[in-house]
Structure 1
Amino acid sequence: MKMWRKKNLSNGKYLFLHESPGDKGTIIGVHGLTGHHMQLGHFQKAVEMQYRMITYDLRGRGKSSNADVDTSIDHHVDDLVEFIQSLNVDRPILMGYSMGAYICLKAATRLKNVAGIILLDGAAETDGGQKELILPSLLRLEKTYLSRLDYIDQTRENYEKLGIRWTEYMNKIVNYEIEKVDNHWEHKSDKTLIERDFLSFFDFRIEQVANKIDVPTLLIQATGDLGHRPLFYDFEFYKLKTLLKNINVLKTNANHLTLVFNRQPEIEWQVMHFIEEHVLNASSNSTT
């Protein structure tokens, strides 16, 4: 049984979540900067009936409460820590994509019972090139659209240029992002607050968290280009790969967006293999 519901937080806000069933462990999925819970839908579909997976809308996205005026990665970390504790999840596996990877890594330092971490092309060091790629793409968040179809058509055109295959599921993803306001349509997220979240990437320092993390970690690097370069160069993962004590690395030719928006059967298999061999085995060995 799949479930969609709201989970209240102690600060009076709430997170909208999607839960799918499984009995081998619980995966908590955290999406990227402008995404929502459906962004990890292919991975959720791949593990359902084996692993319970909970994805949710970060505040300021989808059907969750608005983001704080001074929002940052750390605010979302606070939400995630409370979210997991309030759900009483035993030994969660944290899966974070893009911004979600930063959030998961920092949250793992504050949770005592994390079983493993999966980083989908995130938690890297940054350079000015990310600003050149990302900031212009946020302009769509402040535009108004004549109709729902107008937004879908414009988004589809831009996404297909970046290698994303358009499917019915992509239609559902972009439909979920927008709402009608008066006589026009607009994105549910506030561009200023999303940009504030993005700029907080640049304050992330892996050396401040790495020594607090020793659980099995899988890093998946998307080496494909977004335009003229990948979102993160290989050298920007160097500290992450060097400082984390127990890390496995997988590189894929997918780019940062096709990694999640196009189904990736090989990567899905590698994720399942990592959980079985490195997370569950480590957990069983630690109890014997």
Structure 2
Amino acid sequence: MNTYVLKISCPDSKGIIAEVSQALSLSGANIIDLNQYSAGDIDMFFLKAIFSVVDDFDEAAFTDSFSPIANKFSMKWDLFNQSKKLKVAILVSKTNHCLWELLLKHQDGELNCEFPVIISNHLINEPIAKQFGIPFYHLDMSEGKEKAEKRKQKILEEYKIDILVMARYMQILSSDFTKAWNNRIINIHHGFLPAFMGAKPYHQAWYKGVKIIGATAHFATQDLDQGPIIAQDVLHITDKCSITEFVQQGKDIERKTLYTGLKLYLEHSVFVYENRTFIIN
């Protein structure tokens, strides 16, 4: 048996669930789980169905039979075979707590993906990559950002990467690059967006006298720290905390939030509409 995920987004309408369920049933699918949400504010419908099928399930035949229903309801839809793991490239600079978190979670079988390559603008994390048996590539930023980005793109193509994760990769990506990888770059920002965008968010938060600090996993776009938000978490702090303590305590939130954001993506639970997300588990 194989397991698939069907993702659907479309204008809200009556009869969608009934027709989708019938289509799956006629294709021989056994629905394991089905979650849906109607967003009344924007009149949109989102559905995630997990179903099992026999090994000789014909994806092309299902596409042909399902297309009339998709057209009827103006659906955007995707079908994912859960046995095919996405290839995820990790981008990292010097700070490595998020890198460790992803690698250890993957090692424990908690992330259904492959990590074929780690790319960094510093050499400090090369030993970690070697420890986990993952190829490591260093980008020499002194050669210029444009040249480094072209080399990065070549590496991603060579390893047939599906999605990028910026595990505290402290480089601003170009507009062309983010457009090419639209909604396929997950970044961890060490601040609770949309507050405290840009550099040194902990410093910004401290000087504002905040009572909580947070972290945000979001899709990277051409607008710095303004992409659709996937996951967030916060930690209550006291006014006795220094900026250094903000940074130290924030690491736990950052690693947890990035892991959560990537896991949700790998489970096909993230639906993007315009510049926001809906999480349908």
If the length of structure 1 is used for normalisation, what is the TM-score? 0.25
Structure with the higher helix share, 1 or 2: 1
Which structure ranks higher in relative contact order (CA pairs < 8 Å, sequence separation ≥ 6)? 1
Q: Which has the larger radius of gyration?
A: 2
If the length of structure 2 is used for normalisation, what is the TM-score? 0.25
